[in-house]
Amino acid sequence: MKPWSDRLTLTASTEQVSRYMIKTILLSCALALTGYSSIAQAQLPSGKPSPAQQAMINRGYGMFIHFGINTFADVEWSDGTIPAEKYNPTQLDPDQWVRTARDAGFRYVLLITKHHDGFCLWDSKYTTYDVASSPVKTDVVRAVSDACKKYGLQFAIYYSLWDRHEPSYKSPDKQLYVNYMLHQLTELFTNYGNICELWLDGGWDRKPEEWGIEQVYQLVKKFNPNCAVSVNHTIVNEEGQRNFTLPSKMTEDNKYYFQYFPSDFRLWDPKLITRFDKKQYLHNGQSYYLPFEHTLCISNRWNWFEKSTQLPVRDLDELEELFYWCTDNNNCLVMNVPPDQTGRIREYQALAAIELGQRLGLSLKKPLPKNGRFISLQKTASASSVWHDKENIYAANAVNDGNLDSRWASSDTLASLEITLNPADAFNKISIFEYKDTKDLADGFSQARLPRIQAYAVDIQQNGHWDTIYLGDAPMGDCKVIRLPRRYQASRLRFRVTKATAPPSLYEISVIDMK
């Protein structure tokens, strides 16, 4: 899903070109038969959620499922040339996927139906690059949709705009490939029950206006007006320009613009919003309400398609705090829990997702849980040392600015940081996100994260006296959550590094009151 610079060029055989010409005629005829109208259903300017957006906000938490031809090649991306015969799950069990989602407390399942390689997880009339041409011909889209009905979850789909296999994609007439997409989406929206969300990806390979997003939006809304639709990298800094803005910058209403219009929500995989995320975005001088949907991997190596090698999952503390962060302020989260080459989710990953749901107390009958009250947010912070930079971007106040893209960095291996608190505010939880060094892995996509901080302490100041309330003698992990058995009040909190392999750096320290 993250674009690579070494994109491979498509090639088409004579047979493919012949098939393409025949399909072009069939597509045009099918468009007429579906009663497709050129009058698009409008997205209206608003300062509050539409019914589709409100339904999305109510869902809040979904399970992302990456599965396809890439799973069987041990890669994240492929160029559409892997033979369909390579797809061969030996124990394909979509029921297990959705049952895991139910047991973990997810509200919906978001299934990859076609990735950038063009391989389809259903028997599409418009391509032979699909499961019907593979050794295991099970219609995975149908199996997942049926399992969602069985277990009471909603069903959502991911569909790649970019297609590295389909011959019509190369045509100078961009509408020919748009027609191809419209017909595949018609198959999906007419044969698989209610679809609550359409997640589009790969838009960077063409100009935004060449994708026919208005036509796609209209088609989807014809079948389900309450289906939420969006394209990855939804928002930009300037109207009509691909000058991207990160979600962590979206802290002011009516400052940023649609890149893809219409869109019902914002996407920027896998970036995170801030605690001051705003919802109003501009198109042609009018303001539209847009929530944000986050994407995370349960793996701590940031891989989407499961590899043949087992990879560790994120720590439960990190998953919990990221859940709270991502579902706050009427935003949503989908977490990727991918099946392996057998066609099943590995048991240790399923258990991690289920354990998280149990810790959070998730239930379809209850609203999603919230974190406590942040009493340290934007309070005065100071550090014993700061990494030297001209723009002062590593200053101490980065640790409590509500932004996981900013960080404090020390210039010394042993360092401390203090945050001023209101002595009247009680707290019983401290959440710490550490910046880590990264090491690229052999797949060219995943990364291992390496801690710097090896030992540390947390002190509080009361009546001018410092007391240590936590002493850690092991690396803290990506996120350390300190749950205190009693509530404290203090004028200052101090984080001390007592052992480190390099100058320490923290994204965020949150002092929280969990009532």
pLDDT at 229 over 60: yes
**pLDDT, position 388:** 84
| Average of per-residue pLDDT across 5-20 | 34
Q: How high is the pLDDT of residue 288? A: 98
pLDDT at 66: 98
Q: Given 334, 360, 386, which residue is the final one in a domain?
A: 360
Least confident residue range of 241-245, 320-324, 373-377: 241-245
Query: Measured between alpha carbons, how far is 211 from 213 in angstroms, rounded to an integer?
Result: 5
On whether both 349 and 399 belong to a single domain, the answer is no
CA angle 186, 191, 195 (to 5 degrees): 75
What was the pLDDT predicted at 303? 86
Whether residues 423 and 354 fall in one domain: no
For residue 34, the model assigns a pLDDT of 42
Residue 153 pLDDT > 50: yes
For the chain, the domain total comes to 2
The residue whose two tokens read 């240590």 is 468
Instruction: State yes or no: pLDDT of 490 exceeds 90.
Output: yes
8 A C-beta contact, residue 397 and residue 412: no
Look at residue 468 and tell me if it is in a domain: yes
222 vs 25, more confident: 222
Residues 226 and 77 in one domain: yes
pTM score, whole prediction: 0.90
Nearest residue to 38 via CA among 212, 254, 290, 279: 212
Distance, in Å, from the CA atom of 373 to the CA atom of 27, rounded to the nearest integer, reads 55
Determine contact, residues 86/73, Cβ cutoff 8 Å.
Answer: yes
pLDDT of the residue at 386 = 95
Residue ending a domain, among 315, 333, 360, is: 360
Residue 75 has pLDDT above 90, yes or no: yes
The answer as to whether 476 is a domain residue is yes
pLDDT in tens, 252-296: 999 999 999 999 999 999 999 999 999 999 999 999 999 999 999
Stretch 202-225: mean pLDDT: 97
> What confidence tens digit (pLDDT) does each residue in 123-141 have?
999 999 999 999 999 999 9
* Average pLDDT rounded to a whole number, residues 377-385: 97
Give ∠ CA 12-17-21 in degrees, rounded to 5. 150
43, part of any domain: no
pLDDT in tens, 384-428: 999 987 677 999 999 999 999 999 999 999 999 999 999 999 999
Task: Report pLDDT for 354.
Answer: 98
> Does residue 70 lie within any of the structural domains?
yes
275 and 179 both lie in a single domain: yes
Same domain membership, residue 311 and residue 252: yes
Residue 2, pLDDT score:
32
Give the pair of three-digit tokens for residue 176: 């020919």
Instruction: Confirm if 425 and 289 have CB atoms less than 8 A apart.
Output: no
Structure confidence by residue, pLDDT tens digits, 429-464: 999 999 998 888 777 777 788 889 999 999 999 999
The radius of gyration computed from the CA coordinates of the chain, to the nearest angstrom, equals 24
Indicate the DSSP class of residue 249. Answer: G
Kindly state the DSSP code that residue 414 receives in the 8-state scheme: S
For residue 215, pLDDT beyond 50? yes
Residue 44 belongs to a domain: no
Residue 117 neighbours by CB distance under 10 Å? 23
User: Do 343 and 449 lie in a common domain?
Assistant: no
| Least confident among 26-35, 173-182, 241-250, 347-356 | 26-35
Q: Are residues 354 and 381 in the same domain?
A: no
In the listed set 327, 360, 393, which residue is the last one of a domain according to the structure?
360
Q: Are residues 348 and 384 in the same domain?
A: no
Confidence of residue 41 (pLDDT cuts 50, 70, 90): low
d(CA 217, CA 225): 10
**What CATH number corresponds to the domain at position 401?**
2.60.120.260
Q: For residue 20, what pLDDT is reported?
A: 38
| For range 343-367, the mean pLDDT | 97
Give which of 200, 202, 226 is closest to 215, Cα–Cα: 200
Domain of residue 434, residue span: 373-513
Cβ density class 17-50: b for 16+ within 10 Å, e for less? eebbeebbeebeebeeeeebeeebeebeeeeebb
Same domain, 415 and 304: no
The pLDDT value recorded for residue 391 is: 72
Average pLDDT over residues 485-491: 98
Please check whether residues 489 and 379 belong to one and the same domain. yes
Same domain, 225 and 334: yes
Amino acid making up residue 304: W
If asked whether residues 273 and 394 sit together in one domain, one would say: no
Q: What is the pLDDT of residues 101-128, one digit of tens each?
A: 999 999 999 999 999 999 999 999 999 9
pLDDT value of residue 28 = 43
Q: Is the predicted pLDDT of residue 17 greater than 50, yes or no?
A: no
In this structure, of 74-78, 249-253, 300-304, 511-515, the range with the lowest mean pLDDT score is: 300-304
Residue pair 206/163 in contact (Cβ under 8 Å)? The answer is no
Kindly report the backbone phi and psi dihedral angles of residue 281, in degrees, each rounded to the nearest multiple of 5, phi listed first. Answer: -135, 155
Sheet of 381-383: strand order equals: 381-383, 416-420, 492-500, 453-462, 465-472
DSSP annotation of 37: -
- % of the chain surpassing 90 pLDDT: 84
In percent, the amount of the chain with pLDDT more than 70 equals: 91
